[in-house]
Structure 1
Amino acid sequence: MSNSVLWHGVYPALLTPFTQNEEIDFDMFKKNLKVQIEAGVSGVILAGTLGEASTLTAEEKFDLLKAALSTVPEGFPVILNIAEQATKVAVEIAVKAKELGATGLMLLPPMRYKAADEEVVAYFTTVASATDLPILIYNNPVDYGIKVTLDMFAELEKYPTIQAVKESTRDLTNVTRMINRFGDRFKILGGVDTISLETQLVGAVGSVAGLVDAFPAETVAIYKLAQVGRLEEALKIYRWFMPLLELDIHPKLVQYIKLAATAEGLSNEYVRAPRLTLVGEERERILKIIEDARATRPTLPDYKNL
């Protein structure tokens, strides 16, 4: 089994930039990826919610994986998200991801079916048994309708490939419950931008971030400062960041974060239908939040050497 993912630090849920005719813009994808690496992220996650997984074909996800692997330094973790309806298809993607060189997988519960607890556990464990890639379970009952409970994690505990959880329940006490029950068996990564610092302070060892797609240095700086106890400095950046972080918890988070990344030269605004690009008052309102933040950007300490 691979131990090449430490599950510590910041893991961007990367955007999938598109051209105007809805083809993947690989040049922009690689540009953003390189900036993330330069900022000091610990790995990247492809084809998640922010990556518009719901409108990508399996082949396109593999193309993104190949593009990322051809861009990152050797050994840099590249995680492919799996969000499928059928267990068989999820297994096929996991096997193919391993063949192509993925470092790990993020795994959502079954899509488009409100599975019972035992069905979700069976889905996860079937995929985990089919690959030796390390797996990050995405626990997001707010957006996906299924909560992975502590009792379900007790079933998953037996599978060594299931190593971490993206904690997106939005219930900070759940982090403490997980640690009280399982110790450090599951590495906990915060999954909600607006409580990312709080999640870290109660025991998360990293985060899967959204606004990092536009502001990687600030995201990593907050994590690193908090890690070494320089909380006052972390809080100052975090408070500046909060109006932007709130863009991550809206149904149009893809459009909002793409607009922010576009302002930073790291994406374009194009999305794939049924999503539509922002227009009119909404676009102007979101753009003002972005521009106000860019105009008051804090000076960062030398966070890479903390």
Structure 2
Amino acid sequence: MDSKRNVPTGILGFPVSPFNEKDKLDEKALYENVSFLIRHGIESIFIGCGAGEFHAISEDEYETMIDVANEATQSQVPIYTGVGGNIRTAVRQAELSEKKGVDGYLILPPYLVEGTRQGDVEYFSRIAQSTQLNAIVYQRNNVLLTKESLYQLVTIPQVVGFKDGVGNMEQNIQLTQAVGDRLEWINGMPMAEVTMPAYMALGFETFSSAISNYIPHVSRMFYDSLLHDDKQMAADIYRDVILPINNIRKQRSGYAVALIKAGMEIVGLPVRNTVRPPLTPVEPVHYKELEAVINVAFDKYALQTK
């Protein structure tokens, strides 16, 4: 690892894209979302990624979101953007990110088409080398990297991290053993807290946290319990908060994003329970179930900041 490159570690915050009643990006709500994450000790901000409905925001909105994140963070924590889609669009987003002075970007896997393994490597490589910013490669859905693929990518100085959203633990063992601490290993599974104990055993000490958008104190307490081998605390939080929310998340496709916004609305943040198609808002019955779990999260686990 290039010692001059600072890699994001710990709990990574992924703000949403708040929309108002006219389906316009709500910049004030986004500012509060980012500020809230920073106030509660989240180590990095990843703007315009999956939780930010990358698939549904315009280029103008994307640029505005970067500006809002810069204004809200005031260089207190690193900012990473999501880049992806077709190769020319992804490179343009990477170049814009560099122009805006962020720290790096998460390269989202291409969609609609399934390339070859070498094609995936070339996709990640071209984007990573288009700027001098840090680049994190993200395997998910139709992109599954091999040891040979990763060997090629780690020759690029800009590639500093690997985010897994597939959950193939045997493959993760192969990759971490092959590459070691050359990369920061990031658990990027939907609601990563569920699988974090297993990932930590493999060297994944960093994860993206969806619930940090509305109950960051729980995410922090759970992470600390893993770091300090407090099995009882981890088991309690699993039972009371993490697994119940995960059970709700699995009730509908798209809830990985929609449930975040519902949770934020429940705790009083200025974010409405609205998402853009093809996603749909959280249904009333599931909304009430989430509200009950959040009440437990505050009643049983005192609000703490880092």
Please report the TM-score for the alignment, with normalisation by the length of structure 2. 0.89
The answer on 1:264 being equivalent to 2:267 is yes
2:279 to 275, 292, 295: 275
Structure 1 residues 67-76 or 15-24, which shifts more? 67-76
Aligned in 2, Cα 1:294/1:228: closer, same or farther, shift over 3 Å?
same
Aligned in 2, Cα 1:178/1:232: closer, same or farther, shift over 3 Å?
farther
- Give deviations 1:175-231, integer Å, cap 9, x for gaps: 322221111111111112231333224321110122222221211221123123333
1:106 aligns to what?
106
Structure 1 counterpart SS, 2:181: coil
1:202 aligns to what?
202
Number of equivalences: 296
Structure 2 counterpart SS, 1:69: helix
2:34 aligns to what?
33
1:169 aligns to what?
166
Within a 5 Å distance, the mapping from 1:39-50 to structure 2 comes to: 39-50=40-51
Instruction: Give the Cα separation in 1 of the matches to 2:5 and 2:217.
Output: 23
Contact kept, 8 Å, 1:214 with 1:260, in 2: the verdict is yes
Give, in angstroms, the shift of residue 4 of structure 1.
5.6
2:254 maps to amino acid: K
Identity %: 19
Structure 1 counterpart SS, 2:163: strand
2:294 maps to amino acid: R
Question: Can you give the 5+ residue segments of structure 2 that lack an aligned partner in the other structure?
Answer: none
Contact kept, 8 Å, 1:3 with 1:134, in 2: the verdict is no
Contact kept, 8 Å, 1:156 with 1:162, in 2: the verdict is yes
- Give deviations 1:234-277, integer Å, cap 9, x for gaps: 33223322111345555222222211221112321122234343
Instruction: Give the Cα separation in 2 of the matches to 1:302 and 1:13.
Output: 20
Aligned in 2, Cα 1:247/1:42: closer, same or farther, shift over 3 Å?
farther
Structure 2 counterpart SS, 1:184: helix
Structure 2 counterpart SS, 1:80: strand
Structure 1 residues 292-301 or 234-243, which shifts more? 292-301
2:119 aligns to what?
119
The answer on 1:138 being equivalent to 2:138 is yes
Please report the TM-score for the alignment, with normalisation by the length of structure 1. 0.89
Aligned in 2, Cα 1:30/1:184: closer, same or farther, shift over 3 Å?
same
Contact kept, 8 Å, 1:36 with 1:213, in 2: the verdict is yes
Aligned in 2, Cα 1:247/1:68: closer, same or farther, shift over 3 Å?
farther
Instruction: Give the Cα separation in 1 of the matches to 2:247 and 2:4.
Output: 34
Contact kept, 8 Å, 2:109 with 2:140, in 1: the verdict is no
RMSD: 2.1
Within a 5 Å distance, the mapping from 1:175-186 to structure 2 comes to: 175-186=172-183
Instruction: Give the Cα separation in 1 of the matches to 2:113 and 2:171.
Output: 24
